[in-house]
Amino acid sequence: MSILIAIVGLGFLVMIHEAGHFFTARAVGMRPRRFYVGFPPALAKTTRNGIEYGIGAIPLGGYVKIPGMHRPAPTDLDHHFGPALLQAPSLVGPVERLKRLVAQGDFPEARAALGSLDEALGQAKLPPVPARTARRGREELGDALGPEAYWRQPTWKRVVVIAAGPLTNVVFAILLLAIVYMLGIPDGASRRVDKVSPDSPAAQAGLRPGDEIVAVNMQPTKTFKQVSEALRSSKGKPVIVSIVRRGKYIELPPTRTIKQSGHYIYGFRPAGVVYKHYNPATALGLAGRDTWDVTKAIGSSLARIAQGTGRKDVSSPVGIVDASSQAAKTDYRDYLEIMALISLSLALLNLLPLLPLDGGHIAFSLFEGIRGRSVGRAVYERVSVVGIALVLLLFFVGLSNDIGRIGGG
């Protein structure tokens, strides 16, 4: 059950990441075409208001399909319509005209010419595979030439849409940590007695389970830490322990502490852990501080990985699920903290300037803004090969680490 909770939690983090892209794209006028948790093939999907929602069979992430991510190029038409041209020569004229217009950068005229292509496709008798490829190509071309196309938008819109995913994970991590602070974090053991050791000074003085220690040598003790420090500092001298028993204040007779394992003890075990709760404003401040500290730690870890000394710091989805499932078995606060850490890690990983990660798209958008001209799909694909190779390398390194940790290696 805990593993299922962990997997659902990881899927939820991916979903809110993609939701950040999705809702921001809609807000700035780039209506997405698909919203998926996981990668295809689809296990389940539905279409509403022209947007396809689905759950993919490969649970390694998710994606939002934003229209026209790349500036169209003549080679795109060769790729999408090449098989169809071999089967239906009647498509050659419309496709070649579109290739010429795209090469010239006459995109308004190319969009107008889509009608001729649609007419030719409607009349062509194509086998299933070329027909499916041509339909997909027509859809891609229509999106790339449309006013909602990502590549046609101002740089600020593109950066905002791409950055929204990681920022959503950062905000979620802060909120989750703030909730943990409001629910309460461990603040030491309770002053209430759980068990008294036989023949100990505590037993001789008459301490009983359920008693609450409120003072040592007439000095008030508000936490178990203060109780422990007062008893240890007695150095074997008699101590007077004041307690509250069933609402009644009692001072136990002076009794000498005894030395055990290098420390002076009284001889009892405290009952459970005390949690300290924070108001929302303070909790948000503490959560923000923790997020910054973790961000710096992850940044240092990434730097060590780049230098070749941080291999053991890498983890894969297998290790993430294992860690969160272990946390789910212990305490829900621990689980929420782990989820916050994973959400923050997901954000920072995606901000690396590598395609196809979000950071790579942001870097390319800024480069294109400075250059004043969009980069074609072919360049994106060549650069993405390097990014995918590095991401896969990290994944397999993390997987080997996780197998070793889980297997005890």
Span 124-159, pLDDT tens digits: 888 999 899 999 999 999 999 998 999 999 999 999
Question: Running DSSP on this structure, what letter comes out for residue 90?
Answer: G
| pLDDT tens digits, 181-204 | 999 887 767 889 989 988 899 999
How much is the pLDDT for 99? 92
- Has residue 323 got a pLDDT over 70? no
Give 203: exposed, middle or buried? Use CB within 10 Å, 0-12, 13-18, 19+: middle
- Mean pLDDT computed over 69-92: 88
Preceding amide of 41 cis, omega within 30: yes
Each residue's pLDDT tens digit, 207-255: 999 999 999 999 998 888 889 889 989 888 999 999 999 999 999 999 9
Q: Average pLDDT for residues 77-92, to the nearest whole number?
A: 89
Residue 3 has a pLDDT of: 67
Please report which confidence band the pLDDT of residue 377 belongs to, taking 50, 70 and 90 as the band edges: confident
- Write the CB contacts of 405 (distance below 8 Å, at least 6 apart in sequence): 319, 322
Among 97-101, 123-127, 174-178, the range scoring the smallest mean pLDDT is 123-127
Q: Where is average pLDDT lowest: 58-67, 142-151, 180-189, 323-332?
A: 323-332
Domains of the chain, first to last: 2-65 (no CATH), 74-145 (no CATH), 158-184+278-406 (no CATH), 187-275 (2.30.42.10)
Confidence class for position 387, pLDDT limits 50, 70, 90: confident
The DSSP result for 332-382, as a single string, is HHHHHHHHHHHHHHHHHHHTSS-TTSHHHHHHHHHHHHHHTSPPBHHHHHH
Average pLDDT over the chain, rounded to whole?
A: 84
Q: What is the mean pLDDT of residues 168-184?
A: 93
What does the pLDDT look like over 276-313, one tens digit per residue? 889 999 999 999 999 998 888 877 776 766 666 656 65
- How far is the CA of 238 from the CAs of 17, 212, 232, 243, in angstroms? 61, 19, 12, 16
The tokens describing 345, both together, are 């890690």
Rounded CA separation 194/210 (Å): 6
Place 110 in a pLDDT band, splitting at 50, 70 and 90.
very high
Q: What is the pTM of this model?
A: 0.72
